[in-house]
Amino acid sequence: MTRTSRADSILPCTMPAKAVHILVFPGFADWEPSHALAELRRHGNYRVETVALTLDPVVSMGGLSILPSRTLADVDIDDVAVFILPGGDAWEQKPLDDGLVELLRDLERRAIPIAAICAATTAIAKAGLLRGRQHTSNGLAYLRARRPLARTRAPTAPGHASHVAAMRR
């Protein structure tokens, strides 16, 4: 009889070639991407790469200590299936990292999905990725208060703090 670990029963050996990448930073809202990550691993068999500005441990809003698997500079864009930006107070309190803006724009140019949750929608707005697009977010007034968006269309769903910004042309 062959024994398999619980991890083996959750994650079959066949995995997609690309990974789900999630940005982690001090104070990120750890609960926001949790369900998506669990389902992408469980049913999509994706591996998850945690991305940060440095490889130093990051403590989430909920107190989880995360050891990033790579830095922004080390992200291989050909390995990204989807890039997740969880919410957190930093989006409203700190300027965007130039490397993150560059990466987000590269992902968008290559049509790689970007999921921005809650306050992270301000990051994709500041990077210019919402201009002229329909999207979901916390609401148009919320985004305009944090970034003037002359050509951003109104959100396609009622604003709520847990909505993921799904962009479409």
Residues of the chain with pLDDT > 90, as a percent, come to: 58
- For residues 22-47, average pLDDT: 96
Q: How many helices (H) and strands (E) does the chain have?
A: 6, 8
- For residues 78-101, average pLDDT: 94
When divided into structural domains, the chain yields a total of: 1
In a domain, 9, yes or no: no
Q: Which domain holds residue 155?
A: 17-163
In a domain, 169, yes or no: no
Reported pTM: 0.78
In a domain, 139, yes or no: yes
In a domain, 5, yes or no: no
Residues of the chain with pLDDT > 70, as a percent, come to: 75
pLDDT tens digits, residue range 139-163?
A: 667 667 765 443 444 454 444 333 3
In a domain, 4, yes or no: no
Cα dihedral 16, 77, 61, 159 in deg (nearest 10): -90
pLDDT tens digits, residue range 9-27?
A: 555 557 788 999 999 999 9
Return the CATH number at 53. Answer: 3.40.50.880
In a domain, 65, yes or no: yes
In a domain, 8, yes or no: no
In a domain, 2, yes or no: no
Tell me how far apart the alpha carbons of residues 30 and 113 are, in angstroms, rounded to a whole number. 20
